[in-house]
Chain A
Amino acid sequence: MSFKNYKDKIDEGDTVILYLSNNLYALEVRREIKNKKGEMIENVFQTPFGALKVKNLIGADFGSRVELSKGWGHVLQPTPELWSLTLPHRTQIIYTPDISMILLQLDLVPGSTVIEAGTGSGSLTHALIRRVRPHGHVFTFDFHEHRAKIAKEEFEEHGIADFVTARHRDVLELGFGEELNGKVDAVFLDLPSPWAGIPHAVTAIKEEGGRFCSFSPCIEQVQRSCIALQEHGFQDIVTMEVLQTELKVTRRTIPVRDLSFLRHKSSECPVEEKPSGDTSYVVGAWPASTPGHTGYLTVATLPPDFKKSKAKDMMKSDVPEDKSDSSESDDRMVIDESVNQ
C-alpha cells in the first residue's frame, strides 16, 4: 500500500526500496513467504551484504538504516521514480527522463483524465497516477491479457487501484471504448503503429480539446504519426528526443608537468624530466557509454471541436489507414461543425 500516500513507518504489505551502496532493490514486506515446496517459511531477503530479515522492517521508519548480516542498508518509500528503477520488467519500460517530459507535455495536473496504451510493466502508469490523483483518473490498456491482469493486481497491491482502470483490450482494433468518448484530457500511445490509434484519440479527447503524445523508437513511426496527426486536425505538432547522462563525480589528483625551466640554461644539471608535483580537481566525468536513444516523443494539441471543422476538408482528400475509423471521426467533425455554426 506504500504507493498511495506519504508514510513515515513501514507496515506489513508495503513495498519498500532497499538502498545498498548505489544499488536499489524493491521488496514486499511479508513476514513469511512460500518456499519451493509451498510451505510458509520466514522471509529472508538475500543481498550482496548478507541476509535481511524482512520482518524486522515492520515498524521501522522510512529513510532509516537497516542491519544486514554483513553490513547495513537504508529503506526508502517507493516513488514512481524509484519504482521505475526496480520494478520487475515484463516489457521494455519508459524511464524517468521520458516520463517526466510526457507528464509535462500532456499538460497533466491533479484532476486530469488520461489514457495510456499500452500498460506494459506499469512504469509510466505509476507516474501518471501520482500526477492526476486524487480527482483524476488513468485508463490504461494492454492487448496482452496476462500483462493487463498482472498490472491490475499490482495497482491493487500498491493501493492505487482507485485512480486507475487497467483493461485488456486491443485499442488499435477496438478503440478505447464508447464510455470514454469525449471524456479525456490527454492520450498517450506507446504502440508499434501509433498512427492507427490517432482517430481513436480524437474520439476520446474532450470537446474542449486536449493533448496527445506518442513514444516511438523509430523515425518511420514518427513520420507516419505526424502525417496522421495533421490529417486529424492536430496543431503544434512537435517531435523531440530527451536523453539523460549521469556524471561520475570524483576527486582527481593529476600531475603537473613544468616545462618553463627549459627556456633558460640551468646551473643544476641535469634537471629531472618528470612531473614536478600534482594538483586536485573535483570532476564530473562523462561515462564512456551512455544512453544514446530511447524513443522519439511526438506531441500535439487537439484544438476544441469548434476549431476542428477546418481539418475536415483535408481529411476528405486523404485516404486513411482504417476506413471505419476515419468515417467515424469524419462524421464527428460534421456534427461538430453544425453545432458550432
Chain B
Amino acid sequence: MTPNKISVGDYLILQKQNYKKLLKFNKPNLTVTVGRDTINLTGIEGWPYFSVFKMVSNSSKKNREYSLELTQEIVNLKDEIDVKISGNDNRNIFDDGHSQKLSAADIEELKVDSSKASDIVETLITNSNTFHSKTEFSQEKYLRKKEKKYFEYIQIVRPNLRIITEVMYKLDPGKIQGIRVDTLSQIITMANIQSEGNHLLYDSGSNGLLAAALLSAIGNQTNGKLVHMHPGNMSQKQALLAMNFNEEHLNRCISVNVYSALRQYYQGCDTNDNTSSELNHLKRKAEDCIEIKSKVSKTENAIDKYINTEDDNISEDSKPEPKKPKWHFDNIAASTILKDKMDSLVIACKEDPKNIFNELLEFVKPGRPFVIYYNVAEPLQQLYMLLKSMSNVAALKLSCNWMRNYQVLPDRTHPEVTMDGAGGFLLTGYVLK
C-alpha cells in the first residue's frame, strides 16, 4: 500500500473550494463532471494526496472541458485584485440593473477569451458603476462570490468517514436515511464501538455509511468484528468501499442477508457439506419472502442494482459460483459470531424497528449498549413505551440533535444562513440480563 500517493483503484475526493465529489479513480485518464465542467484527471496519478491542480482549458472554453496541471499555489482573487477605493455604506447604491456596463454576451465572450479568472473579474469590476462605492466588506463578499464562480483549482484528498458523510449528506440525505454527521458520531460512541468485540449492525439502506462508520472505529489490524445485516439480496457498500480499507480490515465486516443469517442461526440449513441445489432453493425462498414482505427491500434492491452498475467491485457478491457462493460462507461465519453473542447492537432501519430490535436483542450480551436510529421520532417513541413496560433495558433515552455551523470572519461572525435541519433521532440504552 502506498498510502500517500494517488493511485489507480483508489476512491478519492475531488475538492473544488467547498464542493467535494467522491469518485473511484478506476483508470488513469478518468473524466469526471464537476458542475457544468468536464475534467480529465490524466496526470494526477502518483502525486501525493492534498496536491492542488489547476484546471486548464482544453480547447475553446465554450465546451468547458479541462485537463489538470499540478500547481504549487492557489491564487486568491482577493490577492490578485487590488481594490483601492471603498464606500462607507450603501446609501448611494441603486439596484437598477444597469450597474454592469458589459452585456451578458460581452461577459460570455470575456469568459472564452480570458485565460485567468482574475482577468475576468477585474474586467467586470472596471465596468461596474457601483463596485467602488461598495463597502470593503461588500467588495470582499462580491469577490468571494465571483471566486466561487470562476475558481480554477481542484485539490485531491483522501476519503475518510468525515468527508464521506459530508459528501453523501450533501448529495442526498434521503439516500443515507438522513443520518447527519453529529448523529453518526453519536451512533459510534453510544454503541461503544471499539477495536475489540463483536458488533452487530442492521442497516436497511444507508449506502454502506453505517458499516463504514463502525468498521472504521473497529480499526485495521484489530480483533473486532462487524456483522452487517441487511434486507436485500446484496449489501450496499458504496461508503464502505470508498473508505479504501485494506482486505484484512474489510474482511472483518461480514455482510449478510438478515433472513438467510437468522435462518442459518436457528435452523442451521447451510453447512459446509450441503449440496448447492438445496442451498439455492432455500436462498430463493428467502428472496421471495423479501419481495413480498416489504416494498422497502424492493427499493433497496433497485438501489443495489444501481450501485452495481456503477461499481464492478460489488458484482463479486452477486455472481454465485456454481457450488459455494460467498454468501454461503458468510452466513455460516455470521451465525458462528452470533453464537458467541454480540457486544453492541446498532439498528438504522426504514421498517418499524420494534420487531427487528426484539429479534436482534437476543444476540446481545447483558450490560452491552444498543442504538436505534430512525429519521422521525414516532416509531422510536412507540418502541420506548414498549421497552419501558418490559424492563429488560436500562438507561433508555430518546434524543435528537441540533447542529449549526458558523461563518467566522473578522467583524463578520454569525451562524451560517442555512443549516442541515434534519438529523434524525436516537434511542439508546443498555441490555439487561
Interface residues of chain A, those whose CB is within 8 Å of chain B, are: 5-6, 8, 19, 22, 24, 61-65, 74-77, 79-82, 96-97, 99-101, 103-105, 107, 109-111, 127, 130-131, 133-135, 208-209, 219, 222-223, 226-227, 237-247, 249, 251, 282-284, 296, 298, 303-304, 306-307, 309-310
Report A-chain residues with C-beta under 8 Å of the C-beta of B433.
Answer: 61, 63-65
A contact patch SS: mixed
Please tell me which one of the listed residues A24, A104, A247 contacts residue B185 in the complex, with CB atoms under 8 A apart. Answer: A104
Chain B proximity of A185: nearest CB distance (Å): 11
Give the interface segment out of B54-62, B102-110, B168-176, B360-368.
Answer: B360-368
Contact of B186 with A74 in the complex, beta carbons under 8 Å: no
Chain A proximity of B215: nearest CB distance (Å): 10
- 8 A-B contacts, Cβ less than 8 Å apart? A62-B366, A81-B369, A104-B185, A104-B188, A107-B160, A238-B405, A245-B401, A249-B388
Please tell me which one of the listed residues A82, A227, A243, A251 contacts residue B401 in the complex, with CB atoms under 8 A apart. Answer: A243
Chain B proximity of A73: nearest CB distance (Å): 9
Query: Which chain A residue has the least Cβ–Cβ distance from B394?
Result: A19
Contact of A310 with B73 in the complex, beta carbons under 8 Å: yes
Known interface pairs A61-B366, A109-B219, A240-B403; A133-B50 also in contact (CB < 8 Å): no
Report A-chain residues with C-beta under 8 Å of the C-beta of B365.
Answer: 6, 8, 63
User: With A and B bound together, what is the CA distance between A248 and B89 in angstroms?
Assistant: 49
Chain B 44-72 interface 0/1 with A at a Cβ cutoff of 8 Å (1 = within): 00001111100000000000000000001
Known interface pairs A240-B405, A282-B381, A296-B406; A222-B395 also in contact (CB < 8 Å): no
What number of B residues sit within 8 Å (CB to CB) of A? Answer: 67
Contact of B219 with A6 in the complex, beta carbons under 8 Å: no
Query: Is residue B124 within 8 Å, beta carbon to beta carbon, of the partner chain?
Result: no
Known interface pairs A63-B365, A282-B381; A303-B220 also in contact (CB < 8 Å): no
Contact of B394 with A74 in the complex, beta carbons under 8 Å: yes
Contact of B222 with A249 in the complex, beta carbons under 8 Å: no
Chain B proximity of A189: nearest CB distance (Å): 16
User: With A and B bound together, what is the CA distance between A104 and B181 in angstroms?
Assistant: 8
Which 8 A-B residue pairings sit nearest by Cβ, starting from the closest? A63-B366, A110-B219, A63-B367, A62-B367, A100-B185, A104-B185, A239-B406, A110-B195
Report B-chain residues with C-beta under 8 Å of the C-beta of A226.
Answer: 408
Contact of A208 with B403 in the complex, beta carbons under 8 Å: no
Chain B proximity of A107: nearest CB distance (Å): 5
Contact of B367 with A76 in the complex, beta carbons under 8 Å: yes
Query: Which chain A residue has the least Cβ–Cβ distance from B224?
Result: A110
Query: Is residue B397 within 8 Å, beta carbon to beta carbon, of the partner chain?
Result: yes
Contact of A79 with B369 in the complex, beta carbons under 8 Å: yes
Contact of B72 with A309 in the complex, beta carbons under 8 Å: yes
Known interface pairs A63-B433, A249-B381; A97-B182 also in contact (CB < 8 Å): yes
Report A-chain residues with C-beta under 8 Å of the C-beta of B408.
Answer: 222-223, 226, 237, 239, 298
Query: Which chain A residue has the least Cβ–Cβ distance from B386?
Result: A282
Known interface pairs A64-B366, A107-B160, A109-B217; A209-B189 also in contact (CB < 8 Å): no
Known interface pairs A63-B433, A134-B222; A107-B162 also in contact (CB < 8 Å): yes
Please tell me which one of the listed residues B216, B377, B399, B401 contacts residue A109 in the complex, with CB atoms under 8 A apart. Answer: B216
User: With A and B bound together, what is the CA distance between A286 and B239 in angstroms?
Assistant: 34
Report A-chain residues with C-beta under 8 Å of the C-beta of B8.
Answer: none
Chain A proximity of B209: nearest CB distance (Å): 12
Report A-chain residues with C-beta under 8 Å of the C-beta of B73.
Answer: 310
Taking A81-B192, A247-B381, A249-B385 as given, write out 6 further A-B residue pairs in contact, using a Cβ cutoff of 8 Å, ordered by the A residue number. A65-B433, A110-B217, A110-B219, A226-B408, A284-B398, A306-B50
Query: Which chain A residue has the least Cβ–Cβ distance from B411?
Result: A223
Contact of B381 with A97 in the complex, beta carbons under 8 Å: no
Chain A proximity of B352: nearest CB distance (Å): 13
Query: Is residue B85 within 8 Å, beta carbon to beta carbon, of the partner chain?
Result: no
Contact of A81 with B189 in the complex, beta carbons under 8 Å: yes
Contact of B188 with A100 in the complex, beta carbons under 8 Å: yes
Please tell me which one of the listed residues B196, B216, B388, B400 contacts residue A244 in the complex, with CB atoms under 8 A apart. Answer: B400
Chain B proximity of A227: nearest CB distance (Å): 7
Report B-chain residues with C-beta under 8 Å of the C-beta of A304.
Answer: 4, 48-50
Contact of B192 with A130 in the complex, beta carbons under 8 Å: yes
Report B-chain residues with C-beta under 8 Å of the C-beta of A100.
Answer: 182, 185-186, 188-190
Query: Is residue B382 within 8 Å, beta carbon to beta carbon, of the partner chain?
Result: yes
Which of B48, B216, B381, B408 has the most chain A CB within a 10 Å cutoff?
B408
Please tell me which one of the listed residues B52, B161, B381 contacts residue A284 in the complex, with CB atoms under 8 A apart. Answer: B381
Report B-chain residues with C-beta under 8 Å of the C-beta of A282.
Answer: 378, 381-382, 384-385
Query: Is residue B240 within 8 Å, beta carbon to beta carbon, of the partner chain?
Result: no
Contact of B222 with A6 in the complex, beta carbons under 8 Å: no
User: With A and B bound together, what is the CA distance between A127 and B217 in angstroms?
Assistant: 12
Known interface pairs A63-B368, A64-B366, A104-B184; A243-B402 also in contact (CB < 8 Å): yes
Contact of A97 with B401 in the complex, beta carbons under 8 Å: yes
Report B-chain residues with C-beta under 8 Å of the C-beta of A101.
Answer: 181-182, 185
Contact of A96 with B381 in the complex, beta carbons under 8 Å: no
User: With A and B bound together, what is the CA distance between A74 and B185 in angstroms?
Assistant: 27
Report B-chain residues with C-beta under 8 Å of the C-beta of A303.
Answer: 50
Contact of B189 with A242 in the complex, beta carbons under 8 Å: no
Report A-chain residues with C-beta under 8 Å of the C-beta of B221.
Answer: 110-111, 135
Chain B proximity of A225: nearest CB distance (Å): 9
User: With A and B bound together, what is the CA distance between A160 and B85 in angstroms?
Assistant: 61
Chain B proximity of A36: nearest CB distance (Å): 33
Report B-chain residues with C-beta under 8 Å of the C-beta of A96.
Answer: 186, 189-190
User: With A and B bound together, what is the CA distance between A103 and B74 in angstroms?
Assistant: 30
Report B-chain residues with C-beta under 8 Å of the C-beta of A227.
Answer: 410
Chain A proximity of B167: nearest CB distance (Å): 13
Please tell me which one of the listed residues B74, B182, B195, B432 contacts residue A242 in the complex, with CB atoms under 8 A apart. Answer: B182
Query: Is residue B430 within 8 Å, beta carbon to beta carbon, of the partner chain?
Result: yes
Query: Is residue B338 within 8 Å, beta carbon to beta carbon, of the partner chain?
Result: no
Chain B 389-433 interface 0/1 with A at a Cβ cutoff of 8 Å (1 = within): 000001101111111111010100100000000000100001111
